[in-house]
Structure formats: C-alpha cells, structure tokens
Structure 1
Amino acid sequence: MIPIERLIDALASLLENASYHVVLSATDNTAFTPRRLLAPDCLLPVLMRMAEETWKARAGQVSFGLAIEPDRNALCGQRLHAVHHAPLSLVILCTDQTLQSVADAQGLILLDTLERHANTLCAAPASQPMPV
C-alpha cells in the first residue's frame, strides 16, 4: 500500500517538474496549488481513477486497488483512502500519461477538459481492494 502523503508528495513533484497547471477555465486562470489539487478530497481520487484506467487499457484488467469512498464534502464527491495494489512508480507514470493527454503545449489543463476526459475514460466504477 502506498502511504497517501508519499503519493501526494510524488505527484506534486510530477506536477511541478513537468510544469502542469490545472486552472478553472479558459477565462479564469486561477491555478490550484499542487498540494491542494492532490488532496484526498479534491482531485486525487479522479486522477487515480484516470491513471488506473490508463493502465488497464494497456495491461488488461489489472487494477490499482483504489479505496475510494463517497464524501459529500469532497470537491468531486469522493475521497481517496488508499492505493493497495500498485507501485508508486507505475501510478506516477500513468498519471503523467493521463495529464499529457489533456494538457496543452504549455502544460495548462482546464478543469472542464479534465472532467470530460475523466468521464470518457472512467465509465466503470473504481476498483476496490478485496477484503482479506
């Protein structure tokens, strides 16, 4: 299992080093800070689902074992609690590939573009770890 703080640190580093900037819209270029964007109750569950689906498209039905639960106080209505079955390196690579597919040439990602891509990519429910 990947510790959530370790996951957030690694993804924040990816966003900063790759110069990705997630903004609200084309007319409102207010950017989210990487740490806020990657909070378990912000876009982290969405990004993990998108990364998981990116991996599944290439590797078949192998899942990350995401522990995502509904949270009506969360930005997207979901909160990520854990990633059980994937190494951090794979999660980072799949997240980067996902972000590359929605970023423009300057690394700008519009929130509505991200949402449209997420809706297309993630039609099925999130994987959940099997009870032990």
Structure 2
Amino acid sequence: MIPLERLIDALASLLDNGPYRIALSATGEEAFTPRRLLAPDCLLPVLMRMAEETWKTRAGQVSFGLAIRPDSNALCGQRLHAVHHAPLSLIILCTDQTLQKVADAQGTILLDALERHANTLCAVPASQPMPV
C-alpha cells in the first residue's frame, strides 16, 4: 500500500514541475494549489480512477485496488482512503498520460474538461472497492 502523503507529494511534483496548470475557467483563474487539488477529498480520487482506467485499457482487468468511499464533504463527493495494488511509478505515468489527454497546448487543464474526460473514461464505479 502506498502512503497517501507520498502519493500526493509525487503528484504535486508532477503538477509543480511539469507543463500542467489546473484552472477553474478559461480566464486562467487557478482552482487551488497543486497540493490542495491532490487532497484525498478533492481531485485525488478522480485522478486515481482516471489513472486506473488508463492502465486497464493497456493491461486488461488489472486494478489499482482503490479504496474510495462516499464523502458528502468532499469536493467530488468521494474520498480516497488507500491505493493497495499499484506501484507509485505506474500511478504517476498513468496520471501523466491522463493529464496529457485533457491539457490544452499551453498545458492548462480546465476542471470542466477534466470532468468530461472523467465521465467518458470512468463510466462505472471503482473496479475493485477495497476495505480500508
């Protein structure tokens, strides 16, 4: 199991040092800092489901073993509790591929575009709900 703080640190580094910038709208207003966006009750569960689906299209029915539970206080209504079966390097690569598909030419990712892509990619709930 990957400690969530380690996962958040690695993904924050991808956002901080990579070409990506997540914004609320085309006017360029940034939603939150990368670390806040990657909180377990913010976009982290969404990004992990998208990364898992990206991997599944390449490897078949292999699951990251995501423990995602409903949380009415979370931004997207879900909270990530754990990732049981995937190495950190694979998660980072799959997340990067997902972000590449949604980013515009300047690397900006609008939350609306991310939501549309997530709805297309992840039409069903987490593939293998795991106990916390």
Q: TM-score normalised to the size of structure 1?
A: 0.95
Q: Which residue of 2 aligns with 1:20?
A: 20
Note if contact 2:24-2:111 (Cα within 8 Å) is conserved in structure 1: yes
Residue in 1 that maps onto 2:48: 48
Q: Distance in 1 between matches of 2:83 and 2:128?
A: 9
Q: Which residue does the alignment assign to 1:113?
A: 113
1:82 to 2:82 alignment = yes
2:39 aligned counterpart, secondary structure: coil
State the SS of the aligned residue for 2:12. helix
**Structure 1 runs of 4+ off > 6 angstroms?**
none
* Aligned-pair CA distance for 1:34: 0.6
Q: In structure 2, what is the equivalent of residue 35 of structure 1?
A: 35
What is the CA-CA distance between 1:130 and the residue it aligns to? 5.1
The answer on whether the counterparts of 1:11 and 1:92 sit within 8 Å (CA) in structure 2 is yes
Q: Which runs of 5+ in 2 are unaligned?
A: none
Q: Which runs of 5+ in 1 are unaligned?
A: none
Assess if the C-alpha contact under 8 Å between 2:66 and 2:130 holds in 1: no
- When the two chains are superposed, the root-mean-square deviation of aligned CA atoms in Å is 1.2
Residue identity matched to 1:47 = L
User: How big is the shift at 1:20?
Assistant: 0.9
The TM-score, its normalising length taken from structure 2, stands at 0.95
Q: Is the 8 A contact 1:21 1:31 kept in 2?
A: no
Contact map agreement 2:67 2:130 (CA 8 A) in 1: no
Aligned counterparts of 1:97 and 1:33: Cα–Cα separation in 2: 21
